Chains A and B, each alone.
Chain A
Amino acid sequence: MGQYCYLFDASALVALLLKNPDGDVKIAKGKILKLLANGRKNENSLFFVPNICMAEVSSALAKIFLADGYTEQRENSYRQHVEFLLEWVSSKKRHVIQTYALKRSHLVDIEHIFIADRKLPGRKGNPLSGHDGIIIAMGRVLGRTYGNGNVIILTLDGRMADVCVHNRDFFPHAIDLARQEIPGA
C-alpha cells in the first residue's frame, strides 16, 4: 500500500474534537478515529492540518461553546478544547497531526480552483470561500510530493469535495466525511 497523506480542513478537525457530536458529525468523527488508529498501526499515513485552519477551528469552537451566552464554565470548556488542539497538533510529544504552513507557492494558480468551482455542474449553494480554495491549493502542492492520488482532503464541506472530485486530474481527492468512506482507512 502506498503512503497516504491526509489533509484535515477545519470542519473535520472540529468534528474530531467534539465530545457529543450528532448525526453526520458523529459519523465523521468515527471515520476519523478509525483512520488515525489504522494510520498509527500501519505507519503508512501522514496527517496534516493547514496552519491557517487552527485559527478557524478556534473561532468555530468559540461559537459552539459560547453560542448560548458567556459563562465561566463555558469559557473553561472552550479553552480546554483549544489547549487540547494545540497539544495534539503542535506538540512534539503528541504530534498526532502535523501543521502545514501556507507559502507563496500555494497561491500560484489558485484562480484555477475558483474557476473550477464556478464551472461545477449543477452548482448550488455558496461558492468556495478563500479559505476553502487555499486548502485545496495546499493539497495540490502536497500532491507534487506524495503523488496527486495519494493526497486526500478530509472535510464536512460537500462543496469542497465536489470541486475536487470533478477535477481529479488537477486537484487532490477530497472526501465528504458525512457521505463517503476514507480511502486507506
Chain B
Amino acid sequence: MSSKKFLISAMGRKNYLNLSKSFRENIDLLDKLPPTAKPVTLKQIENALK
C-alpha cells in the first residue's frame, strides 16, 4: 500500500486533504521511490546498519 493510501485509511480522506499541500506533495514524492526487489525485514536493516 502506498503511503498516501495508508494515511487516507488511517486518518480519513477529509483529514488527509486538510493537510498542507506541500506535505501531500512530500508524500507523493515518497511514493515515487522505486521498490526493492523483495520486502525488507528488520533483520536486513539491522545488518545494513552494522
Interface residues of A (CB under 8 A from B): 10-11, 14-26, 29-30, 33-34, 36-38, 40-41, 56, 59-61, 63-65, 67-68, 76-77, 80-81, 84, 87-88, 94, 96, 156-157, 178
Q: Is the interface of B mostly helix, strand, loop or mixed?
A: helix
Q: Is the CB of A156 within 8 A of B42?
A: yes
Which positions 1-50 of chain B face chain A at CB distance < 8 Å?
3, 6-7, 10-11, 15-16, 18-20, 22-23, 26-27, 29-31, 33-42, 44-49
- A178–B41 Cα gap in the complex (Å)? 11
Interface centre among A19, A56, A67, A81 (most CB of B within 10 A): A19
Interface centre among A10, A59, A67 (most CB of B within 10 A): A67
Q: Is the CB of B48 within 8 A of A14?
A: yes
Interface residues of B (CB under 8 A from A): 3, 6-7, 10-11, 15-16, 18-20, 22-23, 26-27, 29-31, 33-42, 44-49
Q: Is the CB of B42 within 8 A of A84?
A: no
